[in-house]
């Protein structure tokens, strides 16, 4: 345990050292490779009000982060709920599988940016198209994982429940859904990952506050240190969220891989 922590800390430190060394050679200008020091400076600048300027583009760093996280959480939440329902129906009803299966696969293969333009035309440039984009992006992984898991539930679990007096209509919620939970949790982690990779794209249009909007603005003014800061912020929060999801998974499906 201690060893694992030490290894990880060592890895991060080594990367920082390499970054610092590369920047210190000044082979490339600050615009291409900002030094760790200037990124740290930007972290302080964007987190405080200074010279009458509040954070970056009028919002503190945590406000940018929270705006992005809120979109990710809402989009993922809708996507997870919708994906589970859709996956259950697709997995249980062959007719629906034949009807909707190809559609889900079609949407899954589309790059989210491809349909973002359509969403903007339909829903404008405020919050809704962003959250809807993440919802559409997060839904297919959950739906596919759920449908696969539902079809993979061993029929003896269903038979056991029926022999214990469970009614046919009780089977989907009482047996199939909990049986499929381990795979669904994997789908949820993938979905949140997809939402993460999509949020920056969603924030390229009217994305301030938001980490994506911040990165976009900084890019316009060649503020590479702010771009890097945005990347690190969104990445670090992603690691944290995934750790939380793993924890939830261990709590929710402790039998995973052992039954």
Site membership for another protein, residue 259 (CB under 8 A) = yes
Quote the least distance from Cβ 258 to another protein, whole Å: 4
Q: Is 28 left (phi over 0), alpha (psi -120 to 50) or beta?
A: beta
Q: Which of 17, 110, 160, 247 binds another protein (CB under 8 A)?
A: 160
Q: Which of 159, 236, 240, 247 binds another protein (CB under 8 A)?
A: 159
Site membership for another protein, residue 95 (CB under 8 A) = no
Contact 152, 186 (CB under 8 A): no
Site membership for another protein, residue 171 (CB under 8 A) = yes
Quote the least distance from Cβ 257 to another protein, whole Å: 9
Pick 3 or 154: Cβ nearer another protein: 154
In the chain the first and final C-alpha atoms are separated, in Å, by: 26
Query: What b/e sequence results for 143-155 when a residue is b if at least 16 CB atoms lie within 10 Å of its CB, and e otherwise?
Result: bbbbbbbbeebee
CA distance 116 to 122: 10
Site membership for another protein, residue 101 (CB under 8 A) = no
Q: Which of 77, 96, 158, 231 binds another protein (CB under 8 A)?
A: 158
Rule CB under 8 A: which of 137-156 touch another protein? Answer: 154-156
Quote the least distance from Cβ 155 to another protein, whole Å: 6
Contacts of 194 (CB under 8 A, 6+ apart): 137, 138, 141
Quote the least distance from Cβ 168 to another protein, whole Å: 7
Contacts of 140 (CB under 8 A, 6+ apart): 83, 104, 105, 107, 108
Pick 153 or 202: Cβ nearer another protein: 153
Site membership for another protein, residue 258 (CB under 8 A) = yes
Quickly list DSSP for 29-95.
-TTTS--HHHHHHHHHHHHSEETTEETBTTB-HHHHHHHHHHHHHHHHHHHHHHHHHHHHHHHH-HH
Quote the least distance from Cβ 249 to another protein, whole Å: 13
Site membership for another protein, residue 162 (CB under 8 A) = yes
Pick 48 or 170: Cβ nearer another protein: 170
Q: Quick one: which of 223, 91, 86 has its CA closest to 143?
A: 86
- Which parts of this chain interact with another protein (CB under 8 A)? 92, 154-168, 170-171, 175, 178-179, 181, 253-255, 258-259
């Amino acid at each position: 345990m201690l060893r694992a922590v030490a290894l990880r800390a060592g890895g991060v430190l080594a990367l920082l050292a390499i970054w610092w060394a590369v920047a210190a050679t000044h082979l490339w200008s600050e615009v291409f490779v900002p030094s760790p020091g200037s990124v740290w400076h930007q972290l302080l600048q964007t987190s405080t009000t200074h010279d009458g300027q509040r954070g970056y583009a009028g919002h503190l760093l945590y406000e940018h982060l929270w705006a992005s996280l809120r979109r990710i959480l809402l989009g993922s939440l809708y996507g997870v709920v919708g994906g589970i329902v859709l996956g259950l129906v697709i997995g249980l009803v062959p007719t629906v599988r034949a009807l909707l299966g190809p559609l889900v696969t079609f949407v899954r293969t589309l790059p989210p940016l491809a349909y973002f333009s359509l969403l903007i035309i339909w829903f404008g440039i405020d919050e809704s198209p962003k959250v809807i984009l993440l919802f559409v992006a997060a839904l297919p992984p959950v739906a596919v994982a759920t449908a696969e898991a539902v079809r993979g539930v061993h029929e003896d679990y269903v038979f056991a429940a029926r022999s214990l007096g469970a009614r046919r209509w009780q089977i989907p919620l009482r047996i199939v859904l909990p049986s499929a939970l381990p795979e669904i949790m994997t789908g949820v982690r993938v979905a949140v990952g997809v939402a993460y990779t999509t949020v920056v794209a969603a924030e390229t249009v009217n994305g301030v506050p938001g980490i994506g909007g911040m990165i976009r603005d900084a890019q316009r003014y060649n503020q590479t240190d702010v771009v890097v800061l945005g990347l690190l912020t969104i990445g670090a929060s992603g690691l944290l969220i995934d750790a939380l999801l793993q924890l939830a998974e261990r709590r929710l499906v402790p039998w995973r891989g052992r039954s």
